[in-house]
Structure 1
Amino acid sequence: MNLVFFVHPSFFGSQSMPRYAQMLTEGMQGRGHKVTTLLPQPVFSKITLFNSLRKWFGYIDQYLLFPRQVKKFVKGCDDNTLFIFTDHALGMWMPLVKNRLMVVHCHDFLAQRSALGEIPENPVSSSGKKYQALIRKGFSSAKHFITVSENTKRDLYKFPVKPYTVEVIYNALNRRFTPAKDLSSLNDKVGKDLSGGYILHVGGNQWYKNRKGAIEIYTQWRAQSRHNLPLLLIGARPDESLLKVYEASSFKQDIYLLTGIDDTLLNTAYSGATLLLYPSIAEGFGWPIAEAMACGCPVVTTASAPMSEVGGEAAFYIPKKASGAEKETIAWSMECAEAVEQVVGLTLEQRRKAINAGFENVKRFDQQKMLDLTEAFYYKALRAYKNGNTETVAGEGKRSLHAVSL
């Protein structure tokens, strides 16, 4: 197959989407397909004189310069080319290939739902609503979709789409996660001996990651437990709202807000944790759940999809936090604290069973399996575009990978 991948630009600092796109492109290239990646390059966005305007300069690179170059590139592509959007949030580019063979990968529709007023916890500005409307118009014209969870698939059908094919293909671990025994590097980073265990949270400051909720649960747990494990929050630099909850905790001296953690150290952090506390309100998939289990770390997470899809029968579940008064938040955190106490108090045999259940569960997120299913879907989409003429689909070809800097 001749595959062209549209991917997010690198100049906004995102990690998960570029890694996902890289896994797809390298995986398809390794299967003998001709692969080209298209992404905007920083022109205006690399201007450092006006950092406050960098976001808007990035829009110029993405939506003024890039489309002109894509149009020229597309003219040179034959009719058998399959254009693949590695995220439906790239919908503003989809009209550039609306009459060509196209597949769209969907991760989560939280931004879309927020723009439509469905998520009160995440209000959206008028300009943001217009931006999401343009994205929605773009992906609504597509006919072939891959979603990373059943939950995302259900959300897809809430929009004005008329797909020919939709298939759930769970994310794969995009790098190797294995149990690590040596915690010295993490001890040095924290400045504390962590051999006695700790509670871990991994995630950014996005509202749905619920970092504040992790601190609230931890505070309640410490107040009612005889254990005194520290809490490590790994992710982006904390914002003001998180710092406010942190400062209000009676146990803030045992809470560590860690940034700049590389892949190796993250693997170590998962491996040494007593449990991963992941009280997300919503997700597209929930990578840390699978990553923690792959490192032998039990997981306490929210009992709603897609967290429950990823955790399966191997996770320990807590209720989802609802927006409400302080009294309701306290009741929620107290209930969640009981689940934390349950996992912390597991016997050695119970913990061994929980860890082994996690190892078994993450086999579902094998990278080669995910790539096999994705390749098969690309073939199915191509056959659908060709009205069932499978003779035009070639499964072999010269291996080549092109990165096009437009």
Structure 2
Amino acid sequence: MRIVLFTHPAFLNSNSMPRYARMLEQGMRERGHNVSVRTARAFFYKTPAPKFFKKWLGYLDQYLVFPLAFKLRRQAEPDLYVFADQALGPWVPLVKKKAHVIHCHDFLAQRAAEGAFPEQAVGTTGRWYQQFIRWGYRQGNCFICISEKTRQDLQAFLKHTPQISEVVYNGFNQEFKPNNPVEVRKDLGLALNLDLNTGYILHVGGNQFYKNRLGVLELYEAYSAQNPDAAPLLLVGTAPNENLLAYRKTMHSKARVHFCTGFSDEQVRMAYQGALVLLYPSLEEGFGWPIAEAQASGCPVITTAAAPMNEVGGEAAWYIPRRKHQDHEEFITTGVARLEMLLDLNDRERLNLVEAGLQNAKRFNTSKTLDHIALIYKQIVSQKWSEKEKL
């Protein structure tokens, strides 16, 4: 099968989407398919300009230069066009009458532009941009979603019933496995110049509103108030924004709160292996990678009792209510109780919880994910060929 894979341009400097695109590219090649990659190149974007204008110059490269170049380029027609992300929607009209499929990750930006989240205001140009993306992917007819929640959101935005709309859970893009937590805590503590020998509470994520880092700090502050000897809190990921730093200054437990930035992949894996628990109370997600990564690393998980977090965590995670915009009481009260219960488990109870997590994480096998995706690709090509035969 000859595949053309559309991906985000390198000048956007994103991380997760290029990783996903590489997984598709390499995975399909390993399965014997011919894959070529198409994306926008920096032309206008190379022009020296302030950061704000660079964004708009990038839009010119993506939505003016690339479509023109694609139409003018002479190339053999592939069997299938694959879009690595629904945010590439404005390119869908280029191939909408040919065999194609759109991978869908999350619709948080789309929903935010519709005013779904009081925590996230979107400006006028942001709303226009999301409308532009929606205009594009709505012209698609075959979709693969990373969770049932994503598929439900997709259907809410589409104006038609697609030919194909399948759910294929993500597969790990690196190996996560348990390790001796005593040794890991010692090594990680030396690297961070912290005493982590008795363990720590972990959060992994960035400053996006839906990651709920502020909620993590609120929950830890309440937990520490009732447990003066609370284990330290490590927040691994992006450097904290001003709001998070300002809140930490007000915390009685601030001396035990540590933002850990610039971690390598190996250090992130170590952080999971040595943690007492992953505290991951996201407001929303497309999938919720840290849940699966933690479980595969032998780390218990407390997360939000809502899709897709409960899709990923299954019966092996512990759940708490979503943090409400105005009323945090239930979130705090239940969260503190859950933390206390989990951290008070005896050795046998904790081992059982860890084992359940390890079994659950086996669902996210990269090879099986790629096999499933390849099967859907073949189905789309076969159906498109049948339609041509009927004509």
Does TM, normalized by the shorter one, top 0.5? yes
Q: Which residue of 2 aligns with 1:395?
A: none
Give the TM-score of the pair, scaled to structure 2: 0.94
Identity across aligned pairs (percent)?
44
The whole-number CA distance in structure 2 between the counterparts of 1:226 and 1:353 is 28
> Which residue is equivalent to 1:127?
125
CA shift at 1:228, angstroms?
1.6
Superposed displacement of residue 49, structure 1: 5.2
Q: Distance in 1 between matches of 2:330 and 2:321?
A: 11
Matched, 1:335 2:329: no
Q: Which residue of 2 aligns with 1:259?
A: 261
> In the alignment, what sits opposite 1:151?
149
Partner of 1:269: 271
Read off the aligned partner of 2:364 and give its amino acid letter: F
Q: How does 1:123-202 map to 2 (within 5 A)?
A: 123-159=121-157, 160-181=159-180, 182-183=183-184, 184-202=186-204
- Structure 1 stretches of 5 or more lacking a match? 391-406
Counterpart amino acid of 2:351? R
Q: CA deviation at 1:332?
A: 2.1
Deviations 1:290-331 (A, max 9, x none): 00111100000000000000000000101011111xxx2244
CA distance in structure 1 between the aligned counterparts of 2:19 and 2:279, rounded to whole angstroms: 24
Q: Which residue does the alignment assign to 1:7?
A: 7
* Partners of 2:238 and 2:139 in 1: CA distance: 35
Q: 1:303 aligns with which of 302, 305, 318?
A: 305
Paired letter, 1:209: K
SS in structure 2 of the partner of residue 188 of structure 1? helix
Instruction: Judge which range, 355-364 or 90-99, deviates more.
Output: 90-99
Amino acid of the structure 1 residue aligned with 2:254: K
Report how far residue 389 of structure 1 moved. 8.1
Runs of 4+ in 1 over 4 A off after TM superposition: 46-49
Counterpart code for 1:359? L
Match of 1:401 in 2: none
CA contact (8 A) 1:214 1:277 kept: yes
Match in the other structure for 1:205: 207
1:312 is paired with a residue whose SS is helix
SS of structure 2 residue aligned to 1:378: helix
**What residue is the counterpart of 1:288 in the other structure?**
290
Secondary structure of the residue aligned to 2:111 is helix
Q: Give deviations 1:126-166, integer Å, cap 9, x for gaps.
A: 11111111111111111111011111111111112330111
CA distance in 1, matches of 2:306, 2:299: 20
Alpha-carbon separation, structure 2, partners of 1:195 and 1:315: 24
Aligned partners of 2:25 and 2:35 also within 8 Å = yes
Count of aligned residue pairs for this structure pair: 385
Are residues 347 and 388 of structure 1, via their aligned partners in 2, closer, same or farther at CA, if it must alter by over 3 Å?
Answer: farther
- Supply the RMSD in Å over aligned alpha carbons: 1.7
**CA deviation vs aligned residue, 1:63-95 (integer Å, no higher than 9, x gap):** 22222222234x4132x5211001101101111
Write the distance in 1 (CA, Å) between the matches of 2:258 and 2:116.
33
Q: Distance in 2 between matches of 1:9 and 1:363?
A: 32
- TM-score using structure 1 length: 0.91
